């Protein structure tokens, strides 16, 4: 039984707080590593009843899991409306300092703020306010460098995570959903508890070094991606706030800048330990080529303001 807990995910802290009528929930195991003692950025209140602001306009949805409604005062995400025993509603205002998670008043349904995409959607809305994004990816920390392996469901993210788990000197941040944020002009990746099939999720962070867009292949190989292709792939493999014009504008700019700053590759993967050796060698080769480019530019008297894309 928990009265209050504070979680830190993606460098965002939020508290989950009981009300008078809700005091029998427990922390789901994937969230244990993310418990913190820090001051929360967002407070989530667990309450019973229905939201007061019921006259809202539907903006977006992913039936039958959730639908987003809005009024002049707040946003309401209703979950599992047609599923008795699972229904709940998340209410928050634009500043996202506080949110209320409502459960039906007269029901014996289990109370859990961790069931379904409740906290993930709260995070998506929070990050969309010029703070970052969540990408469908396996994220790892290799030495002091972060690497993203981006792909849709079935692309092989969980398989890669299991292979990296056998390698030395590697921390797996996530096998399915990784947060990316920009800090002091550099991109950082963060683990989340929203794991995939392999169930890897850890509260680690790393400076992002490169991005691979993965797909199955008969042999391990990589080729550099150019122009707008990486941005298009990121939109397909992320969780952008389609219901929020300002959030979408930020997300597009975020992806455009990130793919212009960091090297992006299409990676064909043969699912065995050979891919780990290949990626290690490919990273070293890329760094050598980048240094050659920088030295050549400097010899010509051309300054290099940003890392060369190789």
Domain shared by 207 and 87, yes or no: no
Based on the number of CB atoms within 10 Å of its own CB, is 206 exposed (0-12), middle (13-18) or buried (19 or more)?
Answer: buried
Instruction: Quote the domain boundaries for residue 92.
Output: 4-127
User: Between these two residues, 304 and 85, which has the higher pLDDT value?
Assistant: 85
Q: What is the mean pLDDT of the chain?
A: 89
- Structural domain includes residue 286: yes
Task: Name the least confident of 133-137, 150-154, 169-173.
Answer: 150-154
Kindly report the length of the chain: 310
Distance CA 114, CA 2 (A): 13
Read off the pLDDT of each residue in 159-170 and give the average, rounded to a whole number: 95
Six-digit token string for 150 = 């981006």
The per-residue pLDDT for range 98-117, each reduced to its tens digit, is 999 999 887 666 788 999 99
- Reply yes or no: is the peptide bond before residue 2 cis, omega within 30 of 0: no
Contact 43, 98 (CB under 8 A): yes
Answer for the pair 234, 255: CB distance below 8 angstroms, yes or no.
Answer: yes
> In Å, what is the CA distance from 28 to each residue of 34, 193, 204?
11, 10, 19
CA 86 from chain centre, in angstroms, equals 24
Domain boundary among 82, 97, 127: 127
% of residues, the chain, pLDDT over 70: 89
Sign for the CA dihedral angle at 204, 123, 265, 273 comes to positive
* Rounded Cα gap, residues 213 and 222, in angstroms: 9
Q: Examine the domain organization and report whether 209 and 259 are in the same domain.
A: yes
The helix (H) or strand (E) run that includes residue 165 is helix 157-165
Together in a domain, 145 and 260:
yes
Indicate if 73 and 137 belong to the same structural domain. no
Task: Please determine, for residue 46, whether its predicted confidence score (pLDDT) is greater than 70.
Answer: yes
Contact call for residues 90 and 98 (beta carbons, < 8 A) = no
> pLDDT digit string (tens) for 169-225?
999 999 999 999 999 999 999 999 999 999 999 999 999 999 999 999 999 999 999
Q: Give yes or no: residues 65 and 178 share one domain.
A: no
257 and 240 belong to one structural domain? yes
Are 189 and 9 in contact, with CB atoms under 8 Å apart? no
pLDDT at 300: 59
Query: Are both 274 and 234 inside the same structural domain?
Result: yes
Cβ atoms < 10 Å from Cβ of 282: 18
In a domain, 306, yes or no: no
Residue 62 and residue 81 in one domain: yes
pLDDT of 305 strictly over 80: no
92 and 65 in one domain? yes
- Which of 79, 98, 127 is a domain's end point? 127
Could you give the CA distance from residue 238 to residue 135 in angstroms, rounded to a whole number? 4
Tell me the C-alpha distance between 141 and 148, whole Å.
9
**For the chain, how many structural domains are there in total?**
2
pLDDT at position 292 over 50: no
Residue 284 has pLDDT above 80, yes or no: no
> Any idea what the CATH number is for the domain that residue 276 is in?
3.40.50
**pLDDT at res. 15:** 97
Q: Are residues 116 and 145 in the same domain?
A: no
Closest listed residue to residue 181, CA positions, set 213, 148, 158, 151: 148
Distance CA 252, CA 247 (A): 9
- Please indicate, yes or no, whether residues 58 and 156 belong to a single structural domain of this protein: no
Residue 308: per-residue pLDDT: 37
3-state secondary structure of 217: coil
* 138 and 284, same domain (yes or no): yes
Continuous segment of H or E residues that includes residue 148: strand 145-150
- CA-to-CA separations, 162 to 123, 189, 222, 252, 275, in angstroms, rounded: 26, 19, 20, 31, 12
Domain termination site, one of 127, 161, 177: 127
* Domain contains 18: yes
């Amino acid at each position: 039984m928990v009265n209050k807990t504070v979680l830190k995910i993606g460098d965002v802290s939020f508290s989950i707080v009981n009300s008078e009528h809700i005091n029998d929930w427990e922390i789901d195991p994937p969230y244990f590593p993310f418990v913190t003692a820090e001051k929360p950025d967002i407070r989530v209140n667990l309450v019973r009843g229905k939201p007061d602001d019921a006259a809202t306009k539907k903006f977006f949805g992913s039936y039958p899991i959730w639908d987003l409604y809005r009024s002049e005062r707040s946003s309401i995400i209703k979950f599992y409306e047609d599923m008795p025993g699972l229904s709940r509603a998340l209410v928050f205002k634009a500043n996202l300092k506080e949110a209320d998670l409502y459960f039906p008043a007269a029901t014996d349904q289990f109370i859990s703020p961790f069931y379904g995409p409740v906290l993930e959607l709260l995070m998506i809305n929070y990050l969309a306010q010029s703070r970052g994004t969540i990408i469908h990816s396996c994220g790892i920390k290799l030495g002091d460098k972060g690497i993203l392996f981006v792909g849709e469901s079935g692309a092989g993210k969980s398989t890669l995570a299991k292979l990296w788990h056998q390698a030395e000197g590697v921390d797996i941040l996530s096998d399915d959903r990784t947060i990316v944020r920009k800090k002091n002009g550099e991109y950082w990746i963060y683990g989340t508890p929203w794991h995939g099939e392999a169930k890897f999720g850890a509260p680690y962070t790393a400076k992002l070094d490169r991005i691979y867009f993965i797909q199955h292949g008969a042999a391990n190989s990589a080729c550099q991606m150019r122009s707008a292709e990486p941005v298009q792939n990121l939109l397909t493999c992320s969780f952008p706030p389609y219901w929020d014009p300002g959030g979408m504008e930020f997300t597009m700019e975020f992806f455009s800048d990130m793919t212009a700053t960091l090297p992006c590759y299409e990676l064909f993967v043969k699912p065995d330990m050979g891919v780990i050796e290949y990626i290690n060698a490919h990273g070293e080769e890329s760094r050598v080529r980048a240094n050659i480019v920088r030295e050549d530019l400097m010899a010509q008297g051309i300054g290099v303001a940003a890392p060369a894309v190789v």
